[in-house]
Amino acid sequence: ATGAAFTGPAEIEASDPKALAAWLEGRGETTQSDLRSLRLRGEVTLGSEKVAIERLKAEFDRKTVTGRLAYVFAAGINKPAKLDAELNAPELDIDAALGFGNALLAGSDIDRPHDMTIAADIGRATIAGFVARNASARLKVDADGLQIDRLSVADLGGAAFSASGRIVTAGPSPQGSMRLDLDAPDMTPVMALLARFAPEAAQALLPRASAMAPAKLHARLTIDGAAPATQAKLAIDGSLGKVRVALNGQV
């Protein structure tokens, strides 16, 4: 809060990363956490406005992540917290990484970012107990809406998934389109991934999952027109198990 800042090369090795995070915030951390050690180095900017690391190289759980990371602190109602990240990893346990982040920030006063720009490429990722190969993400979410340049997994237990598109919410009515493609010989890994991020939807679909395989679907959502005459159109084409699907809806 005094405006003091540090900028320059840094290397950090923490046997207790949660204690380090608490110290950086000025909090007292009296209990020893069970988080694995963390080692990182890069060009660091540390101040009251933002925390940023360029030319990042981090080692966590014997996995290496490189890239850049910048977090801008919230400044009033009109300037929410922002996260800009570009990360690359040959191999990463996503469940462990998410758990690490949640445990690291437990008790923290840091705001969850509302504006995010994410670019990530992971050669081999472990998530929900399944191995995903060649996972790639290029997306942005902010007050203007959601933009997905690319969100894809080449192989998740035999399934392939991709999504792209843009939905703008800044105007009087939402506008844009979104495309999704799914090719899954077995729905088990798809249900496991869905349960990780949308548990209610996964629970509703789980009893029918075996009958839905193999699944090959192409879906497109389009929203256009000015309010109050805005129209949302959904088109789904493909197959679920032995059932041929051709659905067109409009609201």
Which tens digits make up the pLDDT trace of 206-218? 888 889 999 999 9
One-character DSSP codes across 136-197: EEEEEEETTEEEEEEEEEEEETTEEEEEEEEEE-SSSS-EEEEEEEEEES-SHHHHHHHHHH
**Contact indicator for 58, 88 with CB cutoff of 8 Å:** no
Tell me, what's the pLDDT at 123?
95
The Cα–Cα gap between 209 and 113 comes to: 34
Residues 6+ apart with CB under 8 A from 225: 173, 231
One-character DSSP codes across 37-104: PEEEEEEEEESSSEEEEEEEEEEETTEEEEEEEEEE---STTS--EEEEEEEEEEEEHHHHHHHHHHH
**Contact indicator for 150, 137 with CB cutoff of 8 Å:** yes
Largest interatomic CA distance in the chain: 66
Tell me, what's the pLDDT at 29?
60
The Cα–Cα gap between 46 and 9 comes to: 11
Quick one: which H or E segment has residue 200?
helix 199-205
67: left (phi over 0), alpha (psi -120 to 50) or beta: left
Degrees, nearest 5: CA angle 244-249-251: 165
Q: What is the mean pLDDT of the chain?
A: 87
Tell me, what's the pLDDT at 57?
95
From first CA to last CA, the distance across the chain in angstroms is 50
Q: Tell me the whole-structure pTM to 2 decimals.
A: 0.80
pLDDT tens digits for 91-136?
A: 988 877 777 777 666 667 778 888 999 999 999 988 878 889 999 9
